Each structure stands twice: as structure tokens, then as C-alpha cells.
């Protein structure tokens, strides 16, 4: 039986946020105040549509955006980890669940030849329209009260695992790697044999800490804290050998 590796993207694979990194392609390398003020702390995807509309209005086209996105740094050790995964596809399946979008993620992975590590990328679909504007859609709709309208990572994960089961693929272990508040919901769905890899010093670590304090016995997966891809890699090597 294979294991399933699940990765968040922003601040997990890359050491930054692709949605905020993209503003570096604008002439000022930042957004005007009137646009930044439009984010109400809730509907990020709707705000990103406005940001991408603004970028299109500045006459900035696909090649310039792509070049900027390819300059986003990866987390330390992450490229080696992804290359290891590419070489061990007989033992692991690997997916991304991210609130970024298909265009940014595929550019960034292709630039380092690491896209083959992934069997599936579950994120907001994006395409360039005829005017050269990047348009993003919601990944799905859901009823989860704790997640943004466009994506509940728990639902994405549960559906992926169920679809795999329908085609005869069952996983012995799920290893979920993330850093952010929206990674808590999928981690709550993990079982005792699974692992949550939590980035040190980021919001998810704090949320998990609070959850463990509140009701320690209900936290089922093994919680591991990571600072670099190297640590995840050495755990994976041990885990895949047994
Ligand atoms: Mg993240
Ligand atoms: Zn959710």
C-alpha cells in the first residue's frame, strides 16, 4: 500500500505567498492603497480577482507575470524533497491542496522541474482570457463553517481519498504538510496512523498547540514540527523503509 503526501503550497513548498508575490510585476512593485483597502479579511479569492484585474489594467501580460512568479524562493530543502518524491512514485502518491491557483503553481513547479512529484493539484482553476487578464475561479463550494467560500481543504482531501478508493487505491498513511490556518480543517480529519507536519513558527503551529491544550485526546495524527524540507525528507526516508 502507498502513502499519500499532501502539501499546502504557500509558505510550505514556497517560502512566500504566491498571491502577494505577484504584485511585484506592477510598476510600483506594490498595490495602490485604494486597492489594498478592498480586502475585508474574508473573501480572498474575490480580492485576488480585483488584484489580477488591476494587473491586467496596467498592461502587464502573461510573460512578465510568469517571470516574476518564477523568482519566488522555495522553502529550504524543499526542492530536494520534491525530487526525492519524483524518484519514489512507486511508494507514494503526492498532491497539493492550495488556495493559490493552477497557473501560479504550475509555473513555479515547472521552473524547478518538480511538477512530476504531484499526481494532482487541487486549487482554484485559472486561465488567461482573450484580453490577457488572468481569471480565477473557485475550486468548489462547500458547507464548512470554518473555511473560506472557495475552498475547504478537508473536503478536497476527503473527496480525493474517496475517489482513489473507488479506483482501488487505498493509502496506509496520510502525511499532511502545511503552515496556515486553513490547514487545520484537513488535519482534523486525519486518523491515528497519519502525520501532520506543521511548520515551526507559523499560524498552524499555534492553532494546533491550542487544540492540544483544549482536548489533547481528540488530536489523532502524530504532530511533527518542521523548519526545512530536509527534516521532512529524513522522516520520509525512515517511514518509507519500514
Ligand atoms: Mg500556506
Ligand atoms: Zn473546512
124-178 confidence digits (pLDDT tens): 999 999 999 999 999 999 999 999 999 999 999 999 999 999 999 999 999 999 9
The residue out of 50, 69, 88 marking a domain boundary is 69
Q: Are residues 197 and 224 in the same domain?
A: yes
Band (pLDDT 50/70/90 cuts) for residue 105 is very high
pLDDT in tens, 15-54: 999 999 999 999 999 999 999 999 988 889 999 999 999 9
Q: Are residues 7 and 46 in the same domain?
A: no
Q: Are residues 101 and 142 in the same domain?
A: yes
Active-site annotation holds for 57? no
Q: Are residues 166 and 227 in the same domain?
A: yes
Active-site annotation holds for 93? no
Q: Are residues 189 and 81 in the same domain?
A: yes
Cα(11) to centroid(ligand 1), Å: 5
Cα(97) to centroid(ligand 1), Å: 10
85-94, 101-110, 111-120, 204-213: lowest mean pLDDT where? Answer: 204-213
Band (pLDDT 50/70/90 cuts) for residue 219 is confident
Any domain includes 159: yes
Cα(156) to centroid(ligand 1), Å: 15
Of all residues in the chain, what percent carry a pLDDT higher than 90? 93
Q: Are residues 55 and 11 in the same domain?
A: no
Q: Are residues 102 and 219 in the same domain?
A: yes
- Record the cell numbers describing residue 191, joined without a space: 486518523
CATH code where residue 116 lies: 3.40.50.1000
Q: Whose CA is closest to 70, among 102, 107, 103, 30?
A: 107
Domain span at 49: 19-69
Cα(130) to centroid(ligand 1), Å: 31
Which listed residue (8, 19, 183, 194) is catalytic? 8
Any domain includes 129: no
Cα distance between residue 32 and residue 130, in whole Å? 25
Amino acid at each position: 500500500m502507498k502513502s499519500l503526501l499532501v502539501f499546502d503550497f504557500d509558505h510550505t513548498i514556497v517560502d512566500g505567498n504566491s498571491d502577494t508575490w505577484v504584485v511585484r510585476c506592477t510598476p510600483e512593485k506594490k498595490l495602490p492603497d485604494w486597492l489594498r483597502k478592498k480586502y475585508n479579511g474574508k473573501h480572498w479569492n474575490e480580492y485576488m480577482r480585483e488584484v489580477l484585474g488591476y494587473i491586467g489594467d496596467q498592461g502587464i501580460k502573461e510573460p512578465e507575470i510568469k517571470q516574476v512568479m518564477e523568482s519566488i524562493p522555495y522553502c529550504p530543502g524543499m526542492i530536494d524533497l520534491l525530487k526525492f518524491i519524483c524518484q519514489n512514485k512507486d511508494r507514494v502518491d503526492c498532491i497539493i491542496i492550495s488556495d493559490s491557483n493552477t497557473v501560479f503553481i504550475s509555473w513555479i513547479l515547472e521552473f524547478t522541474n518538480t511538477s512530476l512529484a504531484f499526481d494532482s493539484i487541487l486549487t482554484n482553476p485559472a486561465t488567461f482570457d482573450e484580453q490577457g487578464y488572468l481569471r480565477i475561479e473557485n475550486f468548489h463550494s462547500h458547507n464548512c463553517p470554518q473555511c473560506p467560500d472557495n475552498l475547504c481543504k478537508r473536503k478536497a482531501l476527503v473527496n480525493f481519498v474517496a475517489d482513489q478508493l473507488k479506483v482501488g487505491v487505498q493509502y496506509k498513511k496520510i502525511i499532511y504538510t502545511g503552515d496556515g490556518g486553513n490547514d487545520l480543517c484537513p488535519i482534523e480529519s486525519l486518523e491515528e496512523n497519519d502525520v501532520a507536519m506543521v511548520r515551526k513558527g507559523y499560524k498552524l503551529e499555534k492553532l494546533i498547540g491550542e487544540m492540544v491544550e483544549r482536548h489533547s485526546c481528540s488530536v489523532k495524527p502524530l504532530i511533527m514540527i518542521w523548519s526545512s524540507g530536509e527534516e521532512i525528507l529524513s522522516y520520509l526516508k525512515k517511514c518509507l523503509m519500514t
